[in-house]
């Protein structure tokens, strides 16, 4: 009798097929863009390593790696401004993650809805 390998990764690890595709920076991180799923509004940019991506995919809550604090953080655990994950996609080069979320409250640490509305740059005409 032949047994089929279990396609699911060990608990607590990113699926090997996804891990093999990711192109990480020298620090092991990939940029993760959070976007409001129903309006397309770009909310913020965070950073993920394999574990943060695994947690995001398995919990349905956006989890990032804090480069300044050197720890994982689940968006909204302290602020209440939760990101419930609707979908996750890799870009064509597999070096950026797009996390479509349903954002509750502000996405930016400044208290703004998005991190990209305070400093709009004008194009030279």
Q: What is the distance between the alpha carbons of residues 40 and 90, in angstroms, rounded to a whole number?
A: 16
Helices (H), the chain: 16-21, 50-59
In the numeric block, which tokens belong to residue 67? 């480069």
Asked if residues 83 and 62 have their Cβ atoms less than 8 Å apart, the reply is yes
Rg (CA), the chain: 16
- 115 annotated ligand binder: yes
Helix (H, G, I), strand (E, B) or coil at 106: coil
- 95 annotated ligand binder: yes
Number of CB atoms found within 10 A of residue 111's CB: 10
In the numeric block, which tokens belong to residue 116? 């990209």
- 92 annotated ligand binder: yes
Q: Which residues are annotated as a binding site?
A: 91-93, 95, 108, 115
Annotated binding-site residue numbers for Zn(2+):
92, 108, 115
Binding residues for Mg(2+): 91, 93, 95
């Amino acid at each position: 009798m032949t047994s089929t390998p279990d396609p699911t990764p060990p608990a607590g690890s990113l699926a090997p097929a996804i891990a093999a595709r990711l192109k990480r920076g020298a620090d092991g991180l990939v940029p993760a863009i959070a976007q409001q799923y129903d309006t397309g509004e770009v909310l913020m940019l965070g950073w993920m390593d394999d574990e943060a991506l695994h947690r995001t995919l398995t919990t349905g809550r956006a989890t990032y790696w804090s480069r300044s604090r050197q720890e994982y953080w689940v968006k909204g655990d302290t602020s209440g401004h939760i990101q419930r994950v609707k979908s996750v996609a890799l870009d064509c080069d597999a070096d950026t993650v797009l996390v479509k979320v349903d954002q509750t409250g502000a996405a930016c640490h400044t208290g703004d809805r998005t991190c990209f509305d305070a400093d709009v740059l004008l194009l030279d005409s």
